């Protein structure tokens, strides 16, 4: 049956709490062997969208693009299923945070990814919302050190030094968020990665080192943006973050992780946002067969309201996932 609404119309309806013609859905994944440059990244994202025709596009660039202009060096993978290797970290000792200064959007790697956005927008047109991935300032600080424990130690022993860097990162990405809109993005896929979690910090620490900087970056997206807040990891702060003015249009987290709120519980946690999730991307999606997908998707559709829920994974789909499983999901919507 032909869809009644465009992808953009359908997403806007769910954001507004209105029932669309069918469940909306989106999935995203890395293509590590194609992420070395703008042309490859754009080609991978365009090809994935043309193959599956999702209701919004989450651009999945190489994860460290956001810190390469500060001196992060990586060895690129040429294997579709293997991540890039981190070769050099800009931060080793607390005093190194002083070196982190604001960047402009025309810094080489940042400019490269503005090009990615514009290429994808040109290829896909206006009917599908496009979200560009940005990690929160604390998350970006966490990518600059050899281990996450190193950042935790610096936060607890030399907080003022780290906060100076967070200020520079925030200024950089507040401005960059605005330029992403100019390049054609509808908003951000704004990810906390491992940091908005009791496994990494206390809630009091996140209120100091996370929340204020998160909100300042979001100011750069403007009032009409379609922003998705991705609260990553186990034991996450999904509920706690509602105390602050993030105002996302969509929220995504790993709903299948038993330490996190399940999808049905989040109806009353994020009352004014569409909930993206429901698919166990490291469980049944990865391990089951295409002919099993209708069972899982039909169960999701029975249990949830299409005016509140957008079907999706809890994080990026593993590249090893059988793409026929995604095809089966798309056909079942």
Per-residue pLDDT at 314: 97
In a domain, 2, yes or no: no
The segments of the chain whose pLDDT lies below 50 read none
The number of distinct structural domains making up the chain is: 1
Give the CATH number, domain containing residue 179. Answer: 3.20.20.210
**Number of Cβ atoms within 10 Å of the Cβ of 181:** 18
In a domain, 1, yes or no: no
Q: What is the DSSP letter of 150?
A: H
Per-residue pLDDT at 182: 97
In a domain, 43, yes or no: yes
In the chain, helix, strand, coil percent, each to 5?
45, 15, 40
Range of the domain at 113: 7-332
Per-residue pLDDT at 91: 98
In a domain, 256, yes or no: yes
Per-residue pLDDT at 1: 64
Q: Considering the entire predicted model, what is its pTM?
A: 0.97
Per-residue pLDDT at 2: 81
Cβ 238 vs Cβ 273: under 8 Å: no
d(CA 150, CA 141): 10
């Amino acid at each position: 049956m032909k869809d009644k609404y465009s992808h953009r119309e359908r997403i806007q309806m769910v954001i507004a709490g209105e029932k669309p013609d069918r469940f909306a859905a989106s999935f995203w994944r890395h293509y590590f062997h194609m992420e070395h440059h703008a042309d490859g990244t754009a080609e991978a994202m365009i090809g994935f969208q043309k193959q599956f025709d999702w209701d919004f596009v989450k651009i999945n660039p190489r994860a460290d693009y956001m810190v390469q202009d500060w001196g992060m060096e990586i060895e690129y993978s040429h294997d579709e299923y293997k991540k890039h290797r981190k070769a050099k970290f800009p931060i080793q000792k607390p005093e190194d945070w002083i070196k982190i200064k604001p960047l402009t959007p025309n810094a080489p790697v940042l400019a490269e990814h503005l090009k990615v956005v514009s290429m994808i927008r040109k290829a896909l047109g206006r009917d599908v919302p496009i979200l560009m991935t940005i990690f929160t300032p604390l998350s970006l600080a966490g990518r600059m050190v050899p281990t996450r424990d190193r950042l935790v130690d610096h936060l607890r022993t030399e907080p003022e030094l780290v906060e100076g860097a967070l200020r520079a990162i925030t200024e950089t990405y507040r401005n960059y968020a605005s330029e992403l809109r100019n390049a054609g993005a509808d908003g951000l896929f704004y990810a906390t990665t491992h940091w908005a979690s009791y496994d990494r910090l206390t809630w009091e620490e996140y209120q100091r080192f996370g929340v204020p900087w998160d909100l300042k970056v979001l100011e750069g997206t403007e009032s009409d943006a379609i922003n998705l807040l991705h609260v990553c990891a186990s034991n996450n702060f999904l509920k706690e973050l509602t105390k602050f003015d993030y105002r996302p249009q969509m929220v995504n987290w790993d709903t299948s992780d038993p330490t996190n709120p399940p999808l049905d519980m989040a109806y009353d946690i994020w009352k004014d946002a569409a909930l993206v999730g429901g698919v166990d991307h490291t469980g049944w999606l990865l391990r089951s067969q295409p002919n099993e997908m209708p069972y899982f998707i039909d169960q999701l559709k029975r249990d949830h309201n299409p005016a509140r829920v957008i079907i999706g994974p809890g994080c990026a789909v593993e590249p090893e996932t059988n793409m026929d499983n995604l095809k089966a999901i798309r056909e079942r919507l």
